[in-house]
Amino acid sequence: MNKYEAEFSNLVKAYRKRHMGKGPREIRTTFCKNWAICEMEGNLSPVEKFIASAVDGKQVLRSARTEMVKEIYRTHPPVEMEDLLGAKFLELYVDIDLDKDFGMSIFVFDQNIELKFS
């Protein structure tokens, strides 16, 4: 990770903590074209781990951890990330493996941030 990717990781962690109450334990970010790809470990709180152990809990939790996260970014645009990159945030793709507590988020921006920061 270069210094901009590391700073982006810190901003993602702070954003999630501020808006969701908890950020991932570890984030690794890679810039690829107009994407910031974040690999995240240690996403789930103890309560979420408990919910995931229930019969229908995984389905409910996975929905919350994907669709609700995207909605948070839609209603609260990540201005700090835009300021760091000098690019406009357009869209977010999110997925999580609840068994491994490993998630991926792909942030889409309006510029080629890989070229800009490589």
- Is the pTM value of this prediction over 0.85? yes
Tell me which CATH code domain 3-117 carries: 3.30.980
Instruction: Collect contacts of 25-30 with beta carbons under 8 A, ≥24 apart.
Output: 28/1, 29/1, 29/5, 30/1, 30/5
Question: Do the beta carbons of residue 14 and residue 78 sit within 8 Å?
Answer: no
Q: What is the pLDDT of residue 21?
A: 83
Query: Mean pLDDT throughout 91-101?
Result: 94
Where do the domains of the chain lie? 3-117
